[in-house]
Structure 1
Amino acid sequence: MWSSDADAFRPPSASEAIYDRLGLDPYNPIAQEVKGRDFDPTAYDRPASAWYDGPVAAVEVRDKRGNRGLLEHSESSVQSSGVVDATDAESLAEAVATAQRFERVVARLRDRGRQPTVDELRERVLEDVYREDHGRLFDREQPIDESAFRAAVATHAQRFLRE
């Protein structure tokens, strides 16, 4: 996270605290303070992704001077399976607002000591959906009404919390 006041990147722990105060899901720093001589990018084991099954698609590497690099993994399990086959907001919500996704979000909220509400569950699930499935959602000839989509996800969230 960039700090314009300090004209530098914030350390990972400070960035995580900022995200937590805002109620956002922080990124996952995987390894901190690894000496350059001890880091071999060719032997680096990819950690598991926090957002989908399988390893992460890429890892950002940064030194203390702000130099950055990206280790991309070409055989990443993130494969776009094309546009979600949905013709209306309800069928799109059915396709992407899955029980597994709701369970994952509820677990994150409870880990933070928060009880999930319909509104918060809807917002967090939509954040995940937009981040993970953006191309599959919006690469379509007939756009889907976003407010109707949000309402449909809220309905699914309400149903999930009742079960």
Structure 2
Amino acid sequence: MDEPPTTPPLADAPAALLDGGHLWLREHVTGSPLRFQLQPSGVLAFGDDDSEFASDDVPLPYAHAVRHVRERFDREAFRASVDDVASVTFVGVAVDGSGVAYDWVRTPSFLGTEVYDADHGSVLPPDSVASIYEGLGLAPVNALAKEVRAVDFDPEGYAFPDSNWRDGPVAGVLLADKTGHRAVLRNPAVTGGDGAPDTTVTTPDELVERHATDRWLDSVVARLGVSEDELGFDLLFERAVEALAREQVRAFRDGSVDTDEATVRSAMADRVESYLVARRE
């Protein structure tokens, strides 16, 4: 899988980005970097910005996004559109609580930001990126403005709009032109503190007890979109574990909580079982 070029802060971007041409402004959504590629075998390979995941060993904080892509990506449509599927790497963000806290009900687990074409050694233009993701069943990161004259864009005076995925302003803006220049302008008013871990819990049992409330599990059930008869233990259990790791991802990474996957799953299993028993009484 290819490693596309990173998107630098605007201060470090090539001067050509703002010297001429037109810009697409897209919402900078915080989360964890995720890239994927369709292998000739038909298997989707995934990775973060540093390494590739083993197909049977996806890190738990990424499980929600990997499942989301696997379920929605239209493999046949993609195969029909390119000669070599392995020449394309899809790049985006696994939207989680590592930055700001988004509305988990309406925010997709994955939002596409770039499509990298290895045959040409470049990312595709932002308008193509949007249409490609939409055509393959996935959501691209949302556009805030299209075809803005680069010479008219004033980073110092830019008024950051409201986010499409949370109640509050965007965490930043992704700037892109059609020649491959990219940069991110972060919003200094959004620090990401609302996605901070809960420092009052230290064990998996405490983490599950604090966050997997009846109301929270009700919301997980609502997102499943299944009937009461279809709501089984295994389905709710797996989705609840994924949702916890997504929303409390910092606890899974900063060492503040013992988040060994087996211990987390054990604690969640007990909680889901008691929730379903009470729900059906």
Q: TM-score of the superposition, structure 1-length normalised? A: 0.62
**Which is higher, the Rg of structure 1 or of structure 2?**
2
Q: 1:19 to 1:55 in 2, by over 3 A?
A: farther
What value does the CA root-mean-square deviation take over the aligned residues?
A: 3.9
CA separation in 1, counterparts of 2:220 and 2:163?
Answer: 15
**Among candidates 133, 144, 148, match of residue 15 of structure 1:** 133
Native 8 Å contact 2:174 2:182 kept in 1: yes
Partner residue, 1:23: none
Aligned to 2:170: 56
Q: Take 2:191 and 2:167, find their aligned partners in 1: how far apart are those partners? A: 8
Match of 2:236 in 1: 118
Q: What displacement does 1:9 show?
A: 2.7
- The percent of aligned pairs where both chains have the same amino acid is 23
The alignment covers a number of residue pairs equal to: 149
* 3-state secondary structure, aligned to 2:175: strand
Aligned-residue offset at 1:124: 4.6
Q: 1:69 to 1:139 in 2, by over 3 A?
A: same
Structure 1 residue 76: deviation in Å?
Answer: 0.9
Secondary structure of the equivalent of 1:12? helix
With over 3 angstroms needed to count, the CA separation of the structure-2 counterparts of 1:2 and 1:53, relative to structure 1, is same
Give a deviation string over 1:120-156, Cα, whole Å, max 9, x none. 6236514522xxx433443236633222213434555
| CA drift at 1:74 | 1.5
Which of residues 142, 159, 173 in structure 2 aligns to 1:29?
142
C-alpha displacement of 1:61: 1.3
SS at match of 2:147: coil
SS at match of 1:44: coil
Distance 1:16 1:120 in 2: 27
Aligned AA for 2:177?
D
2:240–2:268 Cα contact (<8 Å) kept: yes
For the 8 Å contact 1:102–1:121, the answer to whether it is kept is: no
Which position in structure 2 is the counterpart of 1:75? 189
Q: Which has the higher contact order (CA 8 A, sep 6+)?
A: 2
Q: Distance in 1 between matches of 2:191 and 2:220?
A: 19
The letter of the residue matching 2:207 is L
Mind listing any 5+ residue stretches in structure 2 that lack a counterpart? 1-113
> Aligned partners of 1:105, 1:61: CA distance in 2, in Å?
37
Q: Determine the structure 2 residue equivalent to 1:43.
A: 158
Alignment-derived partner of residue 255 in structure 2: 140
Any conservation in 2 of the 1:83–1:137 contact (CA below 8 Å)? no
Mapped to 2, the partners of 1:73 and 1:59 lie a distance apart of 8
Instruction: Say if 2:200 is the partner of 1:85.
Output: yes
Query: Aligned in 2, Cα 1:128/1:144: closer, same or farther, shift over 3 Å?
Result: closer
- Kindly indicate which of the two structures has a greater share of residues assigned to strand: 2
**Does the CA contact (< 8 Å) of 2:251 and 2:257 recur in 1?**
no
Contact 1:106/1:121 (<8 A) preserved: no
Q: Is the 8 A contact 1:84 1:95 kept in 2?
A: no
